[in-house]
Structure formats: C-alpha cells, structure tokens
Structure 1
Amino acid sequence: MKTSVIIPVYNAEKYVTNAVQSALQFDEVFEVILVEDKSPDNALEVCKELTEKHQRVKLFQHPDQQNHGAGASRNLGIKNASGDYIAFLDADDFYLPNRFDAEKELFQNPEVDGVYGAIGVHYWSDKAKEQYFPVYGDKLTTVYKRYPAEDVFPGLIGMRGSFGLFSIDALTVRKSALEKMDALMKTDLKLHQDTDFLMRLAFYTKLYPGILDQPVAVRGVHESNRISQVDSGKVKPATTRILLWNHLKTWAQNEPKMPDAELLHITRMHRSFIIANAPYIKKWWMILKYLLTDFRSIRSGLYNINFRKALF
C-alpha cells in the first residue's frame, strides 16, 4: 500500500506531533500531508519542524494563507496527495498499531473502494475527562455488525435501525474511488462536513468493514474540541444538524440515482431537526401537523436523543 495520510491542522500545536508520529510508524504510509489552516497558536512552527525532521512529512497552506476550515483543508490535502490510498487523521487524534491491518488484506480485492473501522477515546486531561466522559465514556465508535457494502449508505442515514457509525479517522479509501463522487468535502459546512462526506462516499462507492470490535485509531478529547461542545450540548446540537441534513436533502434531491425511499427518509430526518430547533409553540404545532400528515417525520426525531432533549 502507498497511503497518503491527510491531517488538517488548526489550533493543535500540543497534539499534532503525536498525530504525525502515530502515522509514521507504518510502512504503508507513503506520506503525511499537513494542511495548516492559519492556526492562532504556534502550530505552523511545529509543522515546519516536523517537515524538517521527517522526510515523509509535507506541509501545505491555502494559497491565501487564511483559515478555510477542515473541509477545505482536507480537499487541499487530497489534491496534493500522491499515494494510491487516502487516509485521514485529525491533528488531536492518533492511530493505533493495528490501523492498516484489515486494509492490507481487503484492498487485494479490486471491488473494495474503501475500508472503515472502529475508534476509541483518549482524554488529554483530567478536566477534559470530567467534562466529556458522560458524552463519550470509554465506548467504541463503530458499526455494530459486518454489513454488505450496499447497506452502508442506508445504515448511515438511519434506515437500518441500530447501525452505528464510523469516524473519518478510521477510513481508508482508494484515491481513484473519490472520482466517483459528486464533490469532495463541502466547504460551507463548518461542522459535520466529515459526516456529510462519509454519507455521500457510501452512496457512490463500495465501503467494507475492517476491524470493528477494537479501535484502530483514537479520538483525542480536550477542552477546546469544537465537536465535543456540540455533542455535549454546549452548542445546541439540532442547530448544527439542521445544516447537515439540509445539505444532504439538497444533494439527494439533485442526485438522479437516489432511490425514493432514501430521499424520503433524508427529508424526514431534516424535518425532525427543524422541529427540534423550533420555538416551543411552533414545535408542538409542527408535531401535531405531521402526526396527521406524515407521522414518520415525528418518529425519526423521537429516536434522536438531541430531539428528545429539545422537546422537554
């Protein structure tokens, strides 16, 4: 394997060295691409030191050297990658020694476009553990059983019951397979652009399960994680997920090969988050309306913990 590992770097001077070292332990890693996104800290200098120390580490910035977000940074990394495979890693996360064990076998099958696995949790400080352990615990983020490739997209959008999910840190994809997609990362999504990418990737390509019962990478949790603030409720989750599902709905409506059942389900999920985020009186008016016209929109929301919190 000749794998390019793409690491967007923003406000991560404390963590990026560990992330890079975790990737360089593998012979399968041909290069580590750092995309520094105008960090307010000293991350750029740390990245420069890493390129001087390690021949396989390459550093890029956006042409205007401004901040463009994780999605645009990953896109820039993909554009400059010269490996046959693409893997991703957030700058405050890290790989475990088994990261590419499944890939080495599965990618011998030319029908396999991508492989996904499970990730664990690491708390970078006692304070972070105190704040976010109720959210993440010591649980695996994983898909709960080994699904065929055609079930991954319906599973990720919630049509297969308790499907589970996987992180972009645990994904490896053939670079050539990305040409099947309508677009790479959506750059106007500030949060959940990786979730949007994974769902669309699962629609256009064939993704297969790798190691699901133990972590192949670790999510690093600290006090300034933006997504942790959403997951914990410090930022209202329904607000950010309305934007995600609105993107998915617009894409699904314009995708000629989208099955009607999947389009309807995405529409209902989008609606459920709108209901969750509505003012109290409007919320209950919408609930009564859709109980009469499309009760499954309500049921989709009731299965979502963020929707239940928003109701009461």
Structure 2
Amino acid sequence: MMKISVIIPVYNAEKYVTQAVESALQFDEVFEIILVEDKSPDNALQVCRQLTEKYSRVKLYQHPDKGNHGAGATRNLGIAMADGDFIAFLDADDYYLPNRFDAEKELFKDPKVEGVYGAIGVQYYSEKAKEQYYKIFGDRLTTVYKRYPPEDVFPGQLNMNGTFGLFSIDALTIRKNSLKKMDCFFKKHLRLHQDTEFLFRLSYYLDLYPGILDKAVAIRGVHENNRITKVDAKEIKPSSTKVLLWEEVNNWAENESTIPEYVKTHIKRVYRSFRIANAPFLKKWGMIVKYLFTDYKSIRSGLYNINFRKDLF
C-alpha cells in the first residue's frame, strides 16, 4: 500500500482546515497529514491542535521562530518533516474527493512514474465569493486537456505546444525520492505564484503522468479571503507578481545548462512581455522601441503574450 504524506500549509483557515484534514483522512493510503501553521491571525492554530488530539495521523508543526514565512517556506517545512514514500499537497481551504488517489494507486506501480497530476473543481463558499470569482473560475475543471507524455508537460506549461491546460498542486502526487533531482523546492521569497514556479521546475526534472483529467479529484474552495483575492481586488497588481514569477523562471533557465536555447528564448520573451506590461507608460514605450531595434522577434512574441495569454496563470 502507498504511504502518502499530505502537506497542508495553514494560514487564516480556521473555518476550513477541519474539512481539509477529514477529506484526506478518508484514504487508507494517507500515512500522515502534516499541518504547518504559519502564524495565522485567526484561531487556526487552536483548531490544528484539536485535530492532532482527535486524529493520530495528524501532525502539527510551526516554523522554528513561530513566525509567518509564506506558503513556499511552509510547504518546504512540510516536505522536510514528511516520512511517507509519496508527497501530496492540499491547501487548507480546499478538500479531496473520494477518487483522489484512484489513478495514483495504479500508476505508481510503475517505478518510472515520478509524479501524477489530475483535475480539480471549484466550490464557492459564499454568494459574494461567487460574484467576485465566477468570471475567473466559472464552474470549469482546472485540468490538462488531453493526455500528454511526460516530456511534453514542461513545454506544455510554458504554452509551447498548443493549449495544454493547467493542473494544481492539490491534484499532484510525487514520489518523494524523486525530489532529490531538485536542488530546492518552493522559492521562499515568492509570496505569490510560488506553486506555479515549482511546477515548472518539477515538470522539467521529473516524469509526470496524467491521472484523472475528465473529472475533479479535489475541490478548490473559493472565499473572500483567498490569497488570490488581493490580486483580483487590485490590492496587489497582477502583472507585478507575474514579473517576479517570470524573472525567477528566467534566472533558473539561464543557469540550467540542459535546457535547450529555444526554450530559454521563449522564457525570456515571456519575461520581457510582463516587464513591459508592468512598466510605467513612458518607460514601457521606451522598452518597446529598444526591443524593436534590437530584437524584433522577441518584442513581437512578447506583445502577443501580453495581449492573448493573460489567462495562463
């Protein structure tokens, strides 16, 4: 039987974390549930303590200084504490469905399978949340649109081979030993999009296979206090967070000698496009003029990304 460690970062989720934990406890394959509390402003820590008292498979950790370090560092701590042979993730305001590990139980019998991804659905926890986010999530699955071989997953996420789709870490399961191929996991300094950046690198280093893609294996819970709320409400400028994401991806690609040059060029173009989109008006046009004279193909590709690929991440 599989031994899965489910890692749940906990921040401002006292209303939801019990549902998340109990959705993972339904599986015999779940060896342990690791709650990492990240100095929540609400009563989440007390709820987590109650869950550890009630369920023997639930373990609770905090950062050594008991401070707030963000989702990336919090997931990293969970990985470090995990004793299972497989790692799965779950946000504290989301939950698993009964079919969550159906595909994994079969696929991981093959030792070459290093990770499996699936589809997730959506639930709006309030009418206000639905009004605010329906235009983003609708009632659609977040999924990869067809079954790709593992070598196509990395370029697919970069949108290099047509319309690939998306998968969430809520629907990702990884063979723990395979993580040794990566020199680091989640980037601690990325407060947003650290999961997207992680998935890019993960799909480059590991062989990821499709699990269940035509129906949800987990549910994204949408409420007014989701981290993405601040982005949607313009409290955080969306394009500025993507500049930081693509700057990180570009820096990694430039330093990874095994990535083909055409892939590095594509990544650089996307990074430039977000830099231009986020620049002040006069600087933006100065950058456009500069790239028109120095790298016409890049700026043309960059403008294409700005205008037509806003919905990628």
Q: TM-score range by the shorter chain?
A: over 0.9
Match of 1:195 in 2: 196
Task: Check the 8 A contact 1:238/1:306 in 2, yes or no.
Answer: no
The corresponding residue for 1:257 is 258
Distance (whole Å) between structure 2 residues aligned to residue 132 and residue 213 of structure 1: 22
Q: Which residue of 2 aligns with 1:207?
A: 208
CA offsets, 1:80-100, max 9 Å, x none?
A: 101000000000011111100
Give SS of 1:217's match: strand
**What's the secondary structure of 2:36's corresponding residue?**
strand
Structure 1 letter corresponding to 2:206 = T
Q: Percent identity?
A: 66
Q: Give the secondary structure class of the aligned counterpart of 1:103.
A: helix
**How big is the shift at 1:175?**
0.4
Corresponding residue pairs, total? 309
Q: Is 2:32 aligned against 1:6?
A: no
Aligned position for 2:296: 294
Equivalent positions of 1:223-242 (< 5 A) are 223-231=224-232, 235-242=236-243
The residue matched to 2:245 in structure 1 has which SS?
helix
Q: CA deviation at 1:186?
A: 0.6
Report whether the alignment pairs 1:266 with 2:267: yes
Instruction: For 1:105-116, list aligned pairs within 5 A.
Output: 105-116=106-117
- Report the AA paired with residue 301 of structure 2: R
Q: Cα offset for 1:215?
A: 0.8
**Secondary structure of the structure 1 residue equivalent to 2:15:** coil
Residue in structure 2 matched with residue 243 of structure 1 by the alignment: 244
Q: Which residue of 2 aligns with 1:162?
A: 163
TM-score (norm 2): 0.95
Q: Secondary structure at the match of 1:159?
A: coil
Name the SS for the 2:128 alignment partner: helix
- Matched residues in 1 for 2:183 and 2:213: separation? 28
Q: Does 1:24 align with 2:25?
A: yes
Structure 2 CA distance, aligned partners of 1:8 and 1:128? 22
Kindly tell me: are residues 234 and 144 of structure 1, through their superposed partners in 2, closer, same or farther at Cα, counting changes over 3 Å? farther
Q: Are the structure 2 counterparts of residues 135 and 290 from structure 1 closer, same or farther at C-alpha, using a change threshold of 3 Å?
A: same
One-letter amino acid of the counterpart of residue 17, structure 1? T
The one-character-per-residue Cα deviations of 1:41-82 (angstroms, maximum 9, x if unpaired) are 000000000000001000000111111111111111111101
Change (3 A) 1:103 1:75: same
Structure 1 pair 2/272, CA: closer, same or farther in 2 (3 Å)?
same
Give unpaired runs (5+ residues) of structure 1: none
Cα displacement (A) at 1:283: 2.0
Alignment of 1:129 onto 2:137: no
Does the 8 Å contact 1:230/1:237 carry over to 2? yes
Partner of 1:87: 88
Question: Using the alignment, how far apart are the partners of 1:227 and 1:146 within structure 2?
Answer: 28
Matched letter for residue 5 of structure 2: S
User: Could you list the per-position Cα deviations for residues 161-196 of structure 1 after superposition, in whole angstroms to 9, with x for gaps in the alignment?
Assistant: 211111010100000010001211110100011111
Q: Map 1:276-291 onto structure 2 (within 5 A).
A: 276-291=277-292
Could you tell me the TM-score, scaled by structure 1's length?
Answer: 0.95
Distance 1:120 1:233, change over 3 A: farther
2 CA distance for matches of 1:288 and 1:307? 22
Moved over 4 A (4+): 231-234, 304-309
Unaligned runs of 5+ in 2: none
